[in-house]
Amino acid sequence: MKDDIYWSSIDLYPLQSEEHNRIAPFYQHLRENRFTTTRCTRCGAEPWPPRVVCPECMSDQLEWIDLPVTGVLDTFTIEEVGVPLGFERPLVHGLVKINDRLTLFSRIVDAKLEELKEGMTVTLKVIPIPRDRVIYAFTPA
């Protein structure tokens, strides 16, 4: 394969721009350090992850709402073996409780392992990735 060819089928990360993805605003919000999902304007459901159709009532009239950008580290674990290519080892995985309804599995970055504690506050960390895209993780506050 030529070096200048990009094939999305072997890319770990999704295409994020409006040209390719109808939830492109989620990624735009991340760039503004906002963590968002969609709310159904008909029934009020706030599913995670964001949608283009409400899974509760099938409405497609959705609006973007902000979720908290800080959360509580409920549990964490440290992966020593089998860390995928492109991720640093050890890889810290956390369950981050961001509100009463939503606990997210997330990578915990920029953390000193000895300082990690259940119950500590963590905050959103937006990370640039190739092809002008972003992903999110959480980091100790």
Partner 1 sequence: MRKVAVIAGAMNKWGERQATFRDMIAEAGKLCFDSCEGLRPKDVDGLLLSTAFVEKNQFQTHGAPLAAELLGIKPTNLIGKVELLCASGTTAIHLAYTHIACGYSDVVMVVGVDKLFLPDKRETIWNLQASCDRDFDCIHGLGVPPPLFAMMAKKHMKAYGTTEKQMAAVAVKNHRNGSKNKYAQFQNVITMEEALNARVIVNPLRLYDCCPVTDGAAAVVLACEERAKEFTRDPVYILSIAQANTHKNSANMPSLTTWEHVVIAAPKAYARAGITAKDVDVAEIHDCFTISEIIETEDLGFCKKGEGGAFVEEGQSDFGGTVVVNPSGGLLTCGHPFGATGERQAQEIFHQLRGDAPNQVPGAKIGLQHTMSGFCSDCSLTIYGRI
Of 6-14, 28-36, 38-46, 58-66, which part binds partner 1 (CB under 8 A)? 6-14
36 touches partner 1 (CB under 8 A): no
What single string gives the DSSP state of each residue in the chain?
--TT---GGG-SSPP-STTT-TTHHHHHHHHTT-EEEEEETTT----SS--SS-TTT----EEEEEEPSEEEEEEEEEE-S-PPTTS-SSEEEEEEE-SSS-EEEEEB-S--GGG--TT-EEEEEEEEETTTEEEEEEEE-
Q: Which of residues 38-97 bind partner 1 (CB under 8 A)?
A: 48-49, 75, 77-87, 91, 93, 95
Shortest reach from residue 32's CB to partner 1, in Å: 19
Minimum CB distance to partner 1 smaller for 10 or for 32: 10
Nearer to partner 1 by Cβ, of 34 and 93: the residue is 93
State the number of binding residues for partner 1 (CB under 8 A).
Answer: 29
Footprint of partner 1 on this chain (CB under 8 A)? Answer: 12-14, 48-49, 75, 77-87, 91, 93, 95, 102-107, 135-137
